[in-house]
Amino acid sequence: MIVTASFTGVIKTILILIGVLVILRIIGRTMIAKRNLEKERELIAREREFQKKKEFVRKNKGKTSILSNSKIQAEDADFEEVK
């Protein structure tokens, strides 16, 4: 069996390979853009959270708060005078 290559077959193969590479490149760029958007959203969310904490600290600076559901057990100590 003898296989002969035709000029049009070679051109078709080259065009198909170029088309596949272009499609893969477009898909890659869209995936990179999607990843960058997700990172940007995450960064904005972290920045908002930081600003909320900063505002809360600024607003409550110097105030004392008592936590009712604290799990720390405190024990009273006897008073001893030190000389």
Q: What is the DSSP string of 29-78?
A: HHHHHHHHHHHHHHHHHHHHHHHHHHHHHHHTTT-----TT--PPP----
Is residue 83 situated within a structural domain?
no
Is residue 26 situated within a structural domain?
yes
Total of domains in the chain = 1
Is residue 36 situated within a structural domain?
yes
The model's confidence at residue 1, banded by pLDDT at 50, 70 and 90, is low
Q: pLDDT tens digits for 16-74?
A: 999 999 999 999 999 999 999 999 999 999 999 999 999 999 998 888 877 777 666 77
Q: pLDDT tens digits for 23-34?
A: 999 999 999 999
Q: What is the pTM of this model?
A: 0.56
| CA 57 – CA 17 distance, rounded (Å) | 60
Domain ranges, residue 14: 9-59
